[in-house]
Amino acid sequence: MPLSSPTERTEQHTRTYDFRGYERKDGLWDIEGRLMDVKTYSFRNEFRGEIAPGDPVHDMWIRLTITEDFEVKAIEVVTDKSPFAICPAVAPNFQRIVGTKIGMGWKGQIRKLLAGSEGCTHLVEMLGAMATVAYQALYPKLIKKRPPRETGQKPALLNTCHAFSSDGDIARKEWPEFYTGD
Task: Per residue of the chain (182 residues), give pLDDT as tens.
Answer: 899 999 999 999 999 999 999 999 999 999 999 999 999 999 999 999 999 999 999 999 999 999 999 999 999 999 999 999 999 999 999 999 999 999 999 999 999 999 899 999 999 999 999 999 999 999 988 887 777 777 778 888 889 899 999 999 999 999 999 999 98
Scanning 23-177, the segments in alpha helix (DSSP H) are: 106-113, 121-145, 169-174
- 175 and 102 co-located in one domain: no
For residue 80, tell me if it sits in a domain: yes
Same domain flag for 156 and 91: no
Does 115 lie in the same domain as 91? Answer: yes
pLDDT recorded at residue 151: 74
Residue 27 belongs to a domain? yes
Q: Which pTM value belongs to this model?
A: 0.86
124 and 111 in one domain? yes
Statement to judge: residues 179 and 110 lie in one domain? no
Domain that holds residue 31: 13-146
Q: Are residues 105 and 174 in the same domain?
A: no
Q: Which pLDDT does position 141 carry in this prediction?
A: 86
In angstroms, the CA 1 to CA 73 distance is 40
* pLDDT confidence of residue 143: 80
Q: Is residue 1 part of a domain?
A: no
Query: Is 8 a domain residue?
Result: no
- What pLDDT was estimated at residue 132? 95
pLDDT for position 26: 98
- Whether residue 82 sits in one domain with residue 103: yes
Q: Residue 155 has what pLDDT? A: 85
Shared-domain flag, residues 43 and 124:
yes
Q: Where are the beta strands (DSSP E) in 40-71?
A: 43-45, 49-51, 58-66
CB atoms within 10 A of CB 110: 24
Q: Evaluate whether residue 106 is within a structural domain.
A: yes
Bridge partners for 31 per DSSP: 21, 64
Residue 29 CB contacts under 8 Å (≥ 6 apart), including other chains: 21, 22, 23, 65, 66, 67, 68, 134, 137, 138
